[in-house]
Amino acid sequence: MKTIKLGIVGLGTVGTGVVRIIQNNQQKILATSGCQLQIKTIVVANLAKQRHIDLEGIKLTNQIADIVADDEIQIVIEVMGTIDPAKSYIEALLDSGKNVVTANKDLLATYGNGLITHAQENHVNLLYEASVAGGIPILRTIATSFAADQITSVAGIINGTSNYILTQMSENELTYNEALQQAQELGLAETDPTNDVSGKDAGYKMAILTQFAFGVTVPLENIFVAGITQITKADILRAQKWGYVIKLIGQARPVDDKLSVSVEPMFVRKDHPLATIKNENNAVLVTGSSVGEVMFYGAGAGELPTANSVLNDVLATVKDLQLQQTGAKFNNFSRTTDLLVAQQQKNHYFLTLVSKDDSRVTITSNHHKHQQTLSKQKNDLATELSYQTKPISVQQFRTMVEKLKGTEKLTITAAYPLLD
Ligand code: HSE
């Protein structure tokens, strides 16, 4: 029986999950890989911190050199997150011939191409399934099961923390701050949750997903990103009244022969498959020109689901080591296409408005040169009206809202892009 020795960098939520799965599922790992996994060394920032797992037989250190210089360690799991010092650690590990498995979306989205080249030059694996959608095996699935299909669109809920907050605000009467605190206690949020709620975390994941689905490297500045911090309980209730839920949606799709990539809170029809995704769960709806729509659903964050994705990469690497074929790219699909700049991404927008004098109102939009009479709904919102635009850019939408605000007869009560 062969033993593969592992190093781990980072022992937070995901690192702890990795240790637990290796300890609890030894028999299954042996049965599927023919190898035993042994964690030899773990690099942590704080050696004095109390850990609630069994670390017997494992060396704890705060020196990355203890792994880099250890020739016995063949696979290293990087789960410390963020870019510094993870980037220099991973470069040193790749240079010393270690295969690296990482969950680091910030790093892959920002410096992915350089690191992938680095890994290839050293004939070692660099795998990162856990970087997108936690426990959902979406990257390997796109790379392998869509290899012959043309993907025409990817739309998903890919941040567990923000989906948890929106679900709790809408269903359990929690305030934004209470829901965020719960998400942190559950180990869903990043150490600093700013990126979760600003949409940036989902933006990183969209950059990686787009690379797999469309073969295109998207600079982060080309991704239109908006977060959930401005969403109010009133917005959520208003969406419900009009038959929608508000979800933070990441999308990549061709628009006018260019690729559009965005992350923003959207009105999603209640009967849309993505409207049913709750709490920390994620879902990715992939449309292929042959296969049609396929949706992948599961826990998008959290200790064991994310650690399971890490272990999938570890066992894929064990297999590559056995076959002496490490060093292949995780995703081979690559092509060039023009990208839309962030402010040019287009959506239908849904507005709700209140007419101050209950008269019939007509909105004229310069952007699509047509007039539309607002539909009125006589419900308990009295004279609240809804208006749906043609596809317009963020810039056009903002101009339109400013104009409407200047209309004495109207008050805008909600304004969100619509998921088609
Ligand atoms: N903070 C992330 C989330 C963890 O909430 O989705 C998984 O990437």
C-alpha dihedral sign at 186, 191, 194, 198: negative
Q: Is the CB of 190 under 6 A from ligand 1?
A: yes
Distance 301 CA to ligand 1 centre (A): 5
Over the stretch 19-78, which tens digit does the pLDDT of each residue have? 999 999 999 999 999 999 999 999 999 999 999 999 999 999 999 999 999 999 999 999
E strand or H helix that includes residue 124: none
Over the stretch 151-203, which tens digit does the pLDDT of each residue have? 999 999 999 999 999 999 999 989 999 999 999 999 999 999 999 999 999 99
Q: Which residues are known to be catalytic? A: 205
Phi/psi region, residue 200 (left: phi>0; alpha: psi -120 to 50; beta: rest), is alpha
Distance 232 CA to ligand 1 centre (A): 22
Cα 289–chain centre separation: 23
Q: Is the CB of 159 under 6 A from ligand 1?
A: yes
Cα–Cα dist 350/343, whole Å: 18
**Which residues 6+ apart lie within 8 Å of 330 measured at CB?**
116, 125, 126, 127, 128, 139, 140, 143
Q: Is the CB of 310 under 6 A from ligand 1?
A: no
pTM: 0.94
- Pocket perturbation via mutation, ligand 1, pick of 80, 128, 136, 159 by most ligand atoms within 8 A of CB: 159
Distance 38 CA to ligand 1 centre (A): 27
